[in-house]
Amino acid sequence: MGAPADRRDLTQPDQSRIATPNREYNSMKHFASLKQELQKDSPHRRIAIPQPTTGSGTRAGKRTVAGHYSPDLKKTLNLMAADEGSSVQALLGEAIDLLMRERGKHPFGER
């Protein structure tokens, strides 16, 4: 006498839910079809699809200058920026300008 037909062997993986290369489901095709669906001309489905930026914004021609500091310093800089209605980048620019002047270099004034 075997197991009833409505019971399955729980010690074996459910083969119907395992994705294999031979299955119909292909995630790239799925996302492509979703994109096409979203791009249909429907007044209820209009969304902006972001386009790659060309670097023509405020960062064009700029390079990152970074460092690793303690969490306390980061928190203090964030609080100072918030108190002054400024940004951490502006505070760091001001600090770099002060350092340049102190060392006899021309400040760049980048904030």
| Count of structural domains, the chain | 1
pLDDT value of residue 7: 66
Q: Is residue 63 part of a domain?
A: no
Determine the longest span between alpha carbons in the chain, in angstroms.
94
pLDDT value of residue 46: 58
Q: Is residue 16 part of a domain?
A: no
CB 88 within 8 A of CB 76: no
Q: Is residue 8 part of a domain?
A: no
pTM for the complete prediction? Answer: 0.48
CB 102 within 8 A of CB 85: no
Q: Is residue 85 part of a domain?
A: yes
Query: From first to last of its 111 residues, what are the pLDDT tens digits of the chain?
Result: 555 555 666 666 666 655 555 555 566 676 677 777 766 665 555 566 666 566 566 778 888 889 999 999 999 999 999 999 999 999 999 999 999 999 999 988 776
Distance from C-alpha of 87 to C-alpha of 58, rounded to nearest angstrom: 15
Q: Is residue 81 part of a domain?
A: yes
Domain enclosing residue 75, as ranges: 71-102
Q: Is residue 77 part of a domain?
A: yes
Per the rule left: phi > 0, alpha: psi between -120 and 50, beta: everything else, 65 is: beta
Q: Is residue 54 part of a domain?
A: no
Q: Is residue 41 part of a domain?
A: no
